[in-house]
A = this chain, B = another copy of it.
């Protein structure tokens, strides 16, 4: 198959995905729902981070989670144990969630009007960057155990994300890790990216994360009102 043919097919797949993502987005806005797409390498701590966040956020508003993995339903079970509804999507051979999977999974969540849905994507710093799911914001979770150079080596993911959560900061004193360099590299591929430093294990930095989420909720309401004027 020629390179040109492959590019055409990729464009076709992404075009169809974007159409479904637009439908998802309209539905989420109609349901007054704020949707985040969480992305990272395998093992960066997305699920541990979500378990802590949803346990706290559910006291203030409805929260639901869509979990993506090649196999297993471990993550959805961990979220449900925190008292929050979760739907597991298994992608099988696929390396990312797509908008159609999210549209289908969303129908299996209870009504969450005025609340938040977190989508935990498959652990992969490459493929999920290209697939809009209809989310309000992409959040990339980066573990300090991965090394400072990852934003430069996987630039598409950091360019597509609105927020970088630098996780496992409780391990910082044990590793040769340069926080300033990591942020510099992330801003080199995405000058507008927000950055927060957290520990999903200890809870450090989660107050700032909740404030960031509140700000996105305000932004979404303002955009929706502006569109209606």
A: which residues have CB within 8 A of B?
Answer: 1, 6, 9, 12-13, 16, 41-43, 69-72, 74, 93, 95, 122-127, 130, 143, 145-147, 149-150, 152-156, 168, 171, 174
Contact = CB atoms under 8 A, between A and B. Distances in A.
27 contacts: A6-B13, A9-B9, A41-B42, A41-B123, A41-B146, A42-B125, A42-B154, A43-B143, A43-B145, A43-B146, A43-B150, A70-B153, A70-B156, A71-B154, A71-B155, A72-B152, A74-B149, A95-B124, A95-B126, A95-B127, A123-B153, A123-B154, A124-B127, A126-B127, A145-B145, A145-B168, A171-B174
A9 B13 CA distance: 12
A26 to B, nearest CB: 23
A12, A125, A168: which has the most chain B beta carbons within 10 Å? A125
